[in-house]
């Protein structure tokens, strides 16, 4: 027990845990802290070094770039001759509960990419989710119907898409009801992500 206490004292307060960490984890963290000090790096600098190094290794092997940052990254990626999967976290991250399904739908993967060759380098899109605030009790209503709204963007030709998300509401409501009928807890279309319907009525109008 004393050894664990001594190790804990070396871990920065912002790293402290809500439950007691294992001895192996504490040993790892103290070793990591020592290495950072040896190279005169703070956490932010170490993270930047890791990301850039991983990026350079991936690029040297011809891997595709997954754009998990904000708008404009995909445009830069394809302009440099690389292929890109769009997953910008300001629009297509499901755990950002303030993002409405309308915003999921209106997120255009080819935004500002007008060159036809570069457009072909955008090879797809995906919605993502982190698990800090999601478990078996809420995952289905967190995913649906927002993921369905996003799905039309990569799969339907750009000139066939509805420019007004209100034109999508009918078929998305139908899909949401179909999911509910099949036992999938898809959330209401009205209101922020995964909230309950705000009034009684048919699932087609919730």
- 168 SS3 class: coil
Looking at the predicted structure, is the pLDDT value of residue 16 above 70? no
Average pLDDT over residues 15-22: 60
Residue 7's pLDDT band (cuts 50, 70, 90)? very low
Write the DSSP string, 106-120.
H--TTTT---HHHHH
User: What mean pLDDT value characterizes the chain?
Assistant: 81
pLDDT > 70 in the chain, percent: 87
Distance CA 58, CA 74 (A): 16
What percent of the residues of the chain are helix, what percent strand, and what percent coil, each to the nearest 5?
Answer: 50, 5, 45
pLDDT in the model for residue 1: 35
Looking at the predicted structure, is the pLDDT value of residue 182 above 90? yes
Alpha-carbon separation of residue 27 from 10, 21, 38, 44, 132 (angstroms):
10, 10, 17, 21, 24
At a CB cut-off of 8 Å and minimum separation 6, what does 89 contact?
A: 68, 69, 70, 96, 128
Is there a contact between 88 and 49 (Cβ–Cβ < 8 Å)? no
163-176 pLDDT, tens per residue?
788 888 999 999 99
- Helix 146-155 to helix 169-181 angle (10° resolution) is 120
Closest CA to 192 of 101, 92, 90, 89: 101
Average pLDDT over residues 62-87: 84
Alpha-carbon separation of residue 118 from 61, 70, 82, 112, 137 (angstroms):
20, 18, 9, 11, 41
Residue 8's pLDDT band (cuts 50, 70, 90)? very low
Q: Which tokens hold the place of 125?
A: 């899109």
Average pLDDT over residues 107-118: 90
In this structure, what are the phi and psi dihedrals at residue 122, rounded to the nearest 5 degrees? -85, 100
Is there a contact between 194 and 141 (Cβ–Cβ < 8 Å)? yes
The residue ranking higher by pLDDT, 120 or 5, is 120
Among 12-21, 46-55, 122-131, name the most confident range: 122-131
pLDDT in the model for residue 15: 52
Domain parsing of the chain, residue ranges: 1-62
Residue 5's pLDDT band (cuts 50, 70, 90)? very low
pLDDT in the model for residue 119: 92
The residue ranking higher by pLDDT, 54 or 106, is 106
């Amino acid at each position: 027990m004393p050894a664990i206490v001594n190790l804990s004292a070396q871990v920065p307060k912002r790293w402290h845990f809500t439950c007691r960490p294992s001895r192996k984890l504490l040993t790892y963290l103290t070793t990591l802290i020592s290495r950072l000090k040896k190279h005169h790096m703070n956490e932010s600098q170490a993270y930047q070094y890791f990301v850039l190094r991983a990026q350079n290794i991936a690029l040297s092997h011809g891997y595709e770039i997954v754009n998990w940052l904000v708008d404009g990254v995909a445009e830069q990626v394809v302009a440099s001759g690389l292929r890109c999967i769009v997953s910008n976290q300001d629009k297509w991250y499901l755990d950002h509960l303030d993002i409405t399904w309308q915003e999921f739908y209106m997120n255009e993967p080819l935004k500002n990419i007008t060159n036809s060759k570069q457009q072909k380098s955008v090879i797809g899109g995906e919605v993502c989710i982190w698990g800090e605030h999601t478990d078996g009790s809420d995952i289905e209503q967190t995913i649906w119907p927002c993921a369905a709204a996003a799905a039309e963007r990569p799969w339907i030709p750009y000139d066939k898409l509805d420019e007004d998300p209100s034109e999508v509401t009918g078929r998305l409501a139908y899909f949401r009801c179909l999911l509910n009928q099949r036992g999938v807890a898809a959330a209401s279309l009205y209101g922020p992500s995964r909230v309950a319907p705000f009034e009684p009525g048919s699932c087609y109008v919730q």
